[in-house]
Amino acid sequence: MTLALTAGILVAGAVYLFLQREMLRVVLGFILLGNAANLVLMAAGGTARRGEPFGTPGSTADIADPLPQAFVLTAIVIAFSITIFLLVLAVTGGDDDDTADGENDADEPSVGSRAVSSESEELR
């Protein structure tokens, strides 16, 4: 029950951070979502009914299932690589998102049209 509540809280925090506008908060939300997925994978392995990962050779019924642990290890590596990729996108991306206002001034030409008009004036 504790794992389910913890995973639910992490997913709620991740959704909240995904709804933010800044890229760094989206990356932090992705990290929280990855950790919640890891907790769900570990809970699927039956942590309450299993024992230690290493048991005695005679009693194999109490040994923990290694498959969820391998899935979590793989998920950690994949989440880490995607996090690094998102952080690189956040650093290299600019703050030139002009769609936040929803207003476009008809009097001012856009940046691309200014560059084209200045080049055409130089050619004349």
| Residue 78 forms part of a structural domain | yes
| Residue 24 forms part of a structural domain | yes
Number of domains the chain contains? 1
pLDDT of residue 98: 55
Query: pLDDT 10s per residue in the chain (124 long)?
Result: 788 899 999 999 999 999 988 888 999 999 999 999 999 888 887 666 666 666 666 766 667 777 888 888 999 999 999 999 999 988 887 766 555 555 555 555 555 555 555 555 556 5
| Residue 88 forms part of a structural domain | yes
What CATH number is attached to the domain comprising 84? 1.10.287
pLDDT of residue 2: 85
pLDDT of residue 106: 54
- For 22, the domain range is 1-54+63-93
| Residue 72 forms part of a structural domain | yes
Q: What's the burial of 36, exposed, middle or buried (CB within 10 Å: 0-12/13-18/19+)?
A: buried
Beta strands in the chain (DSSP E): none
pTM of the model: 0.65
Distance CA(95)–CA(83), nearest Å, equals 20
Give the 3-state secondary structure of 2-20. HHHHHHHHHHHHHHHHHCC
| Residue 21 forms part of a structural domain | yes
